Amino acid sequence: MSYELSKLAGRLVSSEIRELLKMTRKPGVISFGGGLPDASLFPIADITEITAEVLRDKGYLALQYGPTSGEPEFIEALVGHQADFGEEVSREQICVTSSSQQGIDLLTLLFLDVGSPVVMELPSYLGSIQAFRRAGADMRGVAMDDDGMRIDRLRQVLDELEKEGKPARFIYTIPDFQNPAGVSMNVERRLALLRLAEERNIPVVEDSPYRELTFQGEPLPSLWTLAKGKGVIGMKTFSKVLFPGMRMGWLQADAQLITKLAMVKQSVDLCTPSFTQLILAEFIRRGRMRAGIEAARACYRPKLEAMLKALKENMPEGVTWSRPRGGMFLWVRLPEQVDAKEIFPRAVENQVAYVIGRAFHCDGSGHNSLRLNYSFPTIEQIGKGIPLLAKVIREAM
């Protein structure tokens, strides 16, 4: 049978990264490719106990349909969780989602038509690029440096769009420990970004999956906090700070927009599982979320230090990398003549894997870059794998 598919289906493209990572299933390969938390951090005993308690005491709610925007009990816990990390948000400003990836999906459904301009960092999160491409968006990239998105380049891109008669629908940014680059936007640029967005009447989408995973003091003030919630749409998730398997996230925005997002969500999945929300509400109330995040910080910081040390000791001259202060990733830049995709099979033959950088660029650039994850591999694997990767790169150079 032949199928007549939608135009949207025609815009779907298989992930180049996922195809390449199939090669890493070879036994013995040390993979720096995934964005996985360290499984030793998973609070299995706590979740087991709380799950039994929720079923016993609230099974009539946990196993039933729930409100589209989220279980009131969970939303209340999220308000407290946000306050614990310096962000003020009201119950009416929250819509619970099935991970932040669904949040991206809802935003594309609400804001984007075919050809709608979206401004984003270069490089940026692959999942967002895929969602924006599926929507038919006109993606415009803005270069970054070690302090995050360059505001001078952002202004240029916005000016170009206005000259073309199609102002951006929103500016998408990951200001804290960015995926894939690992860099963070400094406070001066955060304020400049917000001023520019307000001048142009363009909403800012703040994707914030890593903010709590800071290794040096408390996190920088979020865009949401600096703007007092005005003109900023926050995307949050627990997938990176603790456990991705529960697929739990949320959007925060002004109450009027949350109402619209909930309407869109009704056509997507009716509601996020009440069962999971009630488990996590109790987990947060017991202080286990904060404790889990502190444990993740303590786990990941020495891994990052080990990777930075190994890179410094082994990488050939001409290779540079970011120096994150938190999160899960760092970014490696190779000499211009070296293509990270071309040398990937050779790396796998040498028992090490990474993620190619080009996939994170909405304009197809970035051939000489790659992303390394340090949260999942052990310190021993990092110490063994980085010299193997350096050897492959040195040979390619």
Cα 374 from Cα 303, distance rounded (Å): 6
Q: Supply φ then ψ for residue 12, to 5 degrees.
A: -75, 135
**CATH class of residue range 11-42+291-396:** alpha beta
CATH 3.90.1150.10 in the chain, residues? Answer: 11-42+291-396
- Tokens describing residue 9: 């289906």
Helices (H), the chain: 7-10, 16-21, 44-62, 72-84, 99-111, 126-134, 151-163, 187-200, 223-226, 255-266, 274-285, 288-314, 344-349, 379-396
- The residue type at 214: T
Q: What is the pLDDT of residue 17?
A: 63
Cα 312 from Cα 315, distance rounded (Å): 6
- The residue type at 4: E
What's the farthest any 2 CA atoms get from each other in the chain?
63
Q: What is the pLDDT of residue 19?
A: 62
Q: Supply φ then ψ for residue 221, to 5 degrees.
A: -60, 135
Find all residues with CB under 8 Å of 82, minimum gap 6, and list them. Answer: 88, 89, 252
**CATH code at 45-289:** 3.40.640.10
- Tokens describing residue 81: 């969780």
pLDDT in tens, the chain (397 residues): 888 888 888 887 766 666 656 655 678 899 998 888 999 999 999 999 999 999 999 999 999 999 999 999 999 999 999 999 999 999 999 999 998 999 999 999 999 999 999 999 999 999 999 999 999 999 999 999 999 999 999 999 999 999 999 999 999 999 999 999 999 999 999 999 999 999 999 999 999 999 999 998 889 999 999 999 999 999 999 999 888 999 999 999 999 999 999 999 999 999 999 999 999 999 999 999 999 999 999 999 999 999 999 999 999 999 999 999 999 999 999 999 999 999 999 999 999 999 999 999 999 999 999 999 999 999 999 999 999 999 999 999 9
Find all residues with CB under 8 Å of 163, minimum gap 6, and list them. Answer: none
CATH 3.40.640.10 in the chain, residues? Answer: 45-289
Cα 123 from Cα 137, distance rounded (Å): 17
Closest CA to 297 of 371, 212, 377, 238: 212
- The residue type at 289: M
Secondary-structure breakdown of the chain: helix, strand, coil percentages, each rounded to the nearest 5: 45, 15, 40
* Predicted TM-score (pTM) of this structure: 0.95
- Tokens describing residue 73: 């009990």
